[in-house]
């Protein structure tokens, strides 16, 4: 017989203040079903042995690891018995008739979390990522990791079952913020269709401290708080405080509702900004803009803009980057006419192997702060498809709001 009760279980709540708990009292141990997803795997746990918190030396409670004769009633559960003893949070529980044993079943609703952690050494990195991965594996949840080769190798050597972790080795995943959101979206759809009730992800967004460019990824970090709301995603973003630039660390604090510490404890981010009021970083200045533009077009059609850009870029830009720029400029001009206000101005700068184009109109720009980041198929009637396509292209794209209107800035190629 199972009886549902309600209790604030201190030993778990102290580690995760957002956990909602349900406690089940089971007098028949053969029917024991317990779920403590936050405890993670307990190496060396045997029947009647003390259960300890991962990475800590003190018992989480007086408990015994047990084997259930049936599948857990809750997804991704760990099964073990918690014995009611004086001094624990279970003290107030009534005893089972003739036994005096209480079974704690800690359940949580599907989590949608976006948290950040900061580290300064491999040891602190491990303290932040290993429990996160192990707890996901122990719960039977998909765990997706997108780190560089060095960090992925470290993690493979640290976790108990690296083969159960999905390591993303394709560096193109993080080629653009919109591309990363779309790729993850499709991956999440497959996992949810297969029955996943929780998906854990962790990875590095590009920034100068790890050899990338942070431009645009501030908006990605903000968007993650809402763009995947239909999926049970627990995202943990870890930044090396010794190599990340101050502006990157500033964005990390402003785009994550809570902070996880290497100790395993959590604290709210006092600087968090909701995506609706998030203040993105100003776009990085481009050296080409220090000079006068090579050409200025006033009120061109999308066709005229395509023709001009294609003609000027021929011989300057190689490979697929030329058609990407032509498509991007065409979409920007079409959007300006469709959603902005005239005049529409196109300014073009050139260098031997690089081009920069600014498409400006005098309208206020899109009202949605996530414009261009949400996959086009996710919205009604492909709303916002133009800006999304622009952000999906292999271009350096920036959406700039100013007092005199809205600008789409697109750059392609490299400065000599």
What are the distances in angstroms from CA 235 to CA 154, 258, 402? 19, 11, 33
Q: Would you state the structure tokens that stand for residue 304, as one six-digit string?
A: 């005229």
Report pLDDT for 234.
96
The whole-angstrom separation of Cα 210 and Cα 414 is: 20
Report pLDDT for 95.
37
What are the distances in angstroms from CA 80 to CA 1, 7, 39, 60? 17, 18, 11, 12
Give me the mean pLDDT over the 350-377 stretch. Answer: 89
- At 382, the pLDDT band (50, 70, 90 cuts) reads low
Report pLDDT for 173.
84
Give 195-204 pLDDT, tens digit per residue.
Answer: 999 999 999 9
Give 87-118 pLDDT, tens digit per residue.
Answer: 333 333 333 333 333 334 333 445 789 999 99
Residue 32 has pLDDT above 50, yes or no: no
H helices then E strands: how many in the chain?
A: 9, 18
Report pLDDT for 176.
92
Residue 340 has pLDDT above 70, yes or no: yes
Give 268-299 pLDDT, tens digit per residue.
Answer: 999 999 999 999 999 988 999 999 999 999 99
Give me the mean pLDDT over the 302-312 stretch. Answer: 96
Report pLDDT for 115.
96
What are the distances in angstroms from CA 135 to CA 140, 147, 241, 265? 9, 19, 25, 15
Report pLDDT for 378.
65
The whole-angstrom separation of Cα 226 and Cα 112 is: 9
Helix-, strand-, coil-residue percentages of the chain, each rounded to 5 = 30, 20, 50
All domains in the chain, ordered by first residue: 1-109 (no CATH), 113-268 (3.40.50.300), 287-413 (3.30.565.10)
Report pLDDT for 370.
80
Q: Which residue has the higher pLDDT, 301 or 47?
A: 301
* Cβ-contact 102, 25 below 8 angstroms: yes
Give me the mean pLDDT over the 24-36 stretch. Answer: 33
| Phi, psi (deg, nearest 5) at residue 335 | -65, -40
* Cβ-contact 174, 146 below 8 angstroms: yes
Closest CA to 62 of 91, 19, 96: 91
Q: Which residue has the higher pLDDT, 23 or 400?
A: 400
Report pLDDT for 416.
65
Mean pLDDT in the chain? 77
Beta strand segments in 72-230, E: 80-82, 113-119, 143-146, 166-167, 199-203
Give 194-237 pLDDT, tens digit per residue.
Answer: 999 999 999 999 999 999 999 999 999 999 999 988 899 999 99
Residues in the chain: 416
Report pLDDT for 222.
96
Give me the mean pLDDT over the 156-162 stretch. Answer: 96
Q: Would you state the structure tokens that stand for residue 137, as one six-digit string?
A: 């594996």
Q: How many CB atoms lie within 10 A of CB 126?
A: 19
The whole-angstrom separation of Cα 261 and Cα 149 is: 24
Chain centroid offset of residue 269 CA: 16
Closest CA to 42 of 59, 30, 20: 59
What are the distances in angstroms from CA 82 to CA 43, 60, 62? 17, 10, 6
């Amino acid at each position: 017989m199972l009886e549902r009760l309600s209790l604030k279980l201190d030993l778990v709540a102290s580690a995760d203040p957002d956990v909602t708990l349900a406690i089940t009292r089971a007098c028949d141990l053969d029917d024991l079903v317990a779920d403590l997803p936050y405890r993670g795997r307990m190496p060396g746990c045997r029947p009647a042995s003390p259960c300890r918190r991962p990475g800590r030396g003190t018992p989480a409670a007086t408990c015994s690891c047990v084997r259930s004769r049936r599948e857990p009633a809750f997804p991704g559960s760990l099964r073990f018995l918690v014995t009611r003893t004086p001094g624990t949070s279970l003290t107030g529980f009534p005893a089972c008739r003739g036994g005096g044993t209480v079974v704690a079943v800690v359940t949580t609703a599907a989590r949608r979390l976006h948290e950040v952690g900061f580290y300064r050494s491999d040891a602190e990195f491990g303290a932040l990522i290993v429990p996160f991965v192990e707890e996901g594996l122990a719960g039977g949840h998909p765990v997706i990791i997108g780190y560089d080769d060095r960090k992925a190798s470290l993690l493979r050597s640290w976790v108990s079952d690296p083969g159960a972790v999905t390591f993303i080795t394709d560096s193109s995943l993080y080629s653009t913020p919109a591309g990363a959101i779309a790729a993850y979206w499709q991956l999440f759809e497959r996992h949810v269709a297969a029955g996943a009730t929780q998906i854990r992800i962790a990875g590095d967004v590009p920034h100068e401290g790890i050899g990338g460019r942070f431009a645009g990824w501030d908006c990605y970090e903000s968007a993650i708080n809402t763009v995947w709301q239909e999926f049970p995603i627990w995202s943990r973003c870890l930044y090396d405080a010794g190599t990340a630039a101050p502006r990157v660390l500033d964005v990390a604090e402003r785009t994550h509702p809570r902070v996880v510490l290497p100790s395993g404890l959590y604290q709210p981010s006092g600087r968090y900004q909701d995506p609706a009021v998030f203040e993105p970083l100003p776009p990085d200045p481009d050296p080409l803009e220090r000079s006068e533009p090579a050409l200025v077009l006033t009120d061109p059609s999308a066709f005229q803009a395509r023709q001009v850009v294609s003609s000027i870029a021929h011989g300057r830009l190689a490979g697929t980057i030329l058609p990407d720029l032509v498509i991007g400029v065409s979409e920007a001009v079409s959007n300006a006419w469709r959603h902005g206000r005239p005049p529409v101005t196109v300014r073009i700068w050139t260098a031997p192997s690089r081009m920069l184009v600014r498409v400006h109109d005098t309208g206020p720009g899109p009202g949605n702060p996530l414009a261009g980041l949400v996959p086009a198929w996710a919205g009604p009637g492909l709303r916002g498809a133009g800006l999304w396509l622009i952000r999906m292209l292999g271009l350096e794209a920036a959406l700039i709001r100013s007092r005199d209107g809205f600008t789409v800035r697109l750059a392609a190629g490299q400065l000599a």
